[in-house]
Amino acid sequence: MGLTLVSRKDPLASSQVQLKRLAAVEACPPFEDMLAAAGLQPLHATGITIFQINVGKFCNQSCRHCHVDAGPERTEQMTRETAELCISALARTDIPTVDITGGAPELNPNFRWLVEQSRAMGRHVMDRCNLTVLLLKPQADLAEFLANNRVEVVASLPYFQSAQTDAQRGEGVFEKSIQAMRMLNRLGYGVEGSGLVLNLVHNPVGAFLPAKQDAAEAQFRRELLRRHGVVFNNLYTITNMPISRFLEFLIESGNYEGYMERLANAFNPVAAAGVMCRFTLSVGWDGTLYDCDFNQMLDLPLGNGAPRHIRDFDLAKLDTRRIVTANHCYGCTAGTGSSCGGTVA
Amino acid sequence: MDTYYHPHDLTKFAEMGKGNKELWDKFIGYYSAVFAAGALSEREKALIALGVAHAVQCPYCIDAYTQTCLEKGSNVEEMTEAVHVACAIRGGSSLVHGVQMRNVVDKLSM
Cα–Cα dist A277/A333, whole Å: 12
CA pair distance A14, A175, nearest whole angstrom: 34
Q: How confident is the model at residue A2 (pLDDT cuts 50, 70, 90)?
A: low
Concatenated DSSP letters for A105-174? GGGSTTHHHHHHHHHHTT-EEEEEE-SGGGGSGGGTTHHHHHHHTTPEEEEE---SSHHHHHHHH-TTHH
Instruction: For residue A342, tell me if it sits in a domain.
Output: no
What mean pLDDT do residues A208-236 have?
A: 96
The whole domain housing B94 covers: 40-108
CA distances from A163 to A81, A126, B40 (A): 42, 28, 27
Instruction: Examine the pLDDT at A298 and tell me if it is beyond 80.
Output: yes
Buried (b) or exposed (e) across A55-92, using 16+ Cβ within 10 A?
bbbbbbbbbebbbbbbbbebebbbbeebbebbbebbee
* DSSP 3-state percent helix, strand, coil across chain A (nearest 5): 40, 15, 45
Mean pLDDT, rounded, for A100-111? 98
CB pairs under 8 A between A and B: 25
- Residue A115: φ, ψ to 5°: -60, -50
Pairwise CB contact (< 8 Å): B71 & A164: no
CA nearest A259 in B: which residue?
B67
CB contact under 8 A, A215 and B75: no
- CATH code (residue B82): 1.20.1290.10
Facing A215 at nearest CB: one of B42, B67, B70: B42
**Higher model confidence: residue A3 or residue A33?**
A33
Interchain pair B42, A219: CB under 8 A? no
Whole-angstrom distance between the N-terminal and C-terminal Cα of chain B?
Answer: 54
Is any Cβ of chain B less than 8 angstroms from the Cβ of A216? yes
CA distance B79 to B50: 7
Q: Does any CB of chain A come closer than 8 Å to the CB of residue B73?
A: yes
User: pLDDT tens digits for B83-110?
Assistant: 999 999 999 999 999 999 999 999 999 9
Please, which residues bridge with residue A125 across strands?
A98
Alpha helices (H) in chain A, listed in sequence order: 15-23, 31-37, 80-91, 111-120, 142-148, 162-169, 173-186, 213-228, 244-252, 256-265, 269-273, 293-297, 315-319, 330-333
- At residue A339, the pLDDT reads 82
The number of distinct structural domains making up chain B is 1
pLDDT band at A338 (very low <50, low <70, confident <90, very high): confident
**Measured between beta carbons, which residues in chain B are less than 8 angstroms from residue A209?**
71
User: Quick one: pLDDT at residue A345?
Assistant: 81
Q: Looking at the domain assignment, is residue B30 inside a domain?
A: no
* B77 Cα to chain A: minimum distance (Å): 11
Residue A341 located in a structural domain: no
B61-90 residue pLDDT tens: 999 999 999 999 999 999 999 999 999 999
Q: Does A157 touch chain B (CB under 8 A)?
A: no
Which of A157, A159, A160, A212 to mutate: most B Cβ within 10 Å?
A212
Q: Which residues fall within 8 angstroms of residue A189, CB to CB, at 6 or more apart?
A: A143, A147, A153, A196, A197, A198
**The domain that contains A108 carries what CATH number?**
3.20.20.70
- pLDDT-derived band at B1 (thresholds 50, 70, 90) equals low
Instruction: Evaluate whether residue B9 is within a structural domain.
Output: no
Q: What percent of chain A has pLDDT over 70?
A: 99
> What ipTM was predicted for this assembly?
0.76
Residue A62 counted as domain residue: yes
Q: Indicate the average pLDDT of chain A.
A: 96
Write out the H or E segment, with its range, that includes residue A290. strand A289-290
Q: Using CB atoms, pick whichever of A159, A211, A219 lies closest to residue B71.
A: A211
Per-residue pLDDT tens for B3-42? 888 888 888 999 999 999 999 999 999 999 999 999 999 9
CB contact under 8 A, A208 and B67: yes
The answer to whether the beta carbons of residues A206 and B70 sit under 8 Å apart is yes
User: Beta partners for A283?
Assistant: A53, A289
- pLDDT for A263 beyond 60: yes
Q: For residue A249, what are the domain limits? A: 11-333
Taking only the tens place, the pLDDT of each residue in A106-160 is: 999 999 999 999 999 999 999 999 999 999 999 999 999 999 999 999 999 999 9
What average pLDDT does range A26-38 have in this prediction? Answer: 93
Asked whether the beta carbons of residue A211 and residue B67 sit closer than 8 angstroms, the reply is no
pLDDT class of A26 with cuts at 50, 70, 90: confident
Pick from A334, A204, A328, A327: nearest CA to A266: A334
Q: Answer yes or no: do A204 and B42 touch at CB < 8 A.
A: no
State the average pLDDT over residues A15-20.
97
Residue B42 forms contact with A (CB below 8 Å): yes
Nearest to A56 by CA among A9, A112, A111: A111
> B86 lies in a domain?
yes
If one counts the domains in chain A, the total is: 1
Residue A171 falls inside a structural domain: yes
Helices (H), chain B: 21-35, 42-56, 59-71, 76-96, 98-108
CB contact under 8 A, A204 and B43: no
The distance in angstroms from the start CA to the end CA of chain A is 42
Q: For residue B4, is it within any domain?
A: no
Mutate to test the interface with B, among A219, A237, A253 (most CBs of B within 10 A): A219
Decide if B75 touches A, using CB distance below 8 A: yes
Domain contains B17: no
Average pLDDT over residues A94-104: 98
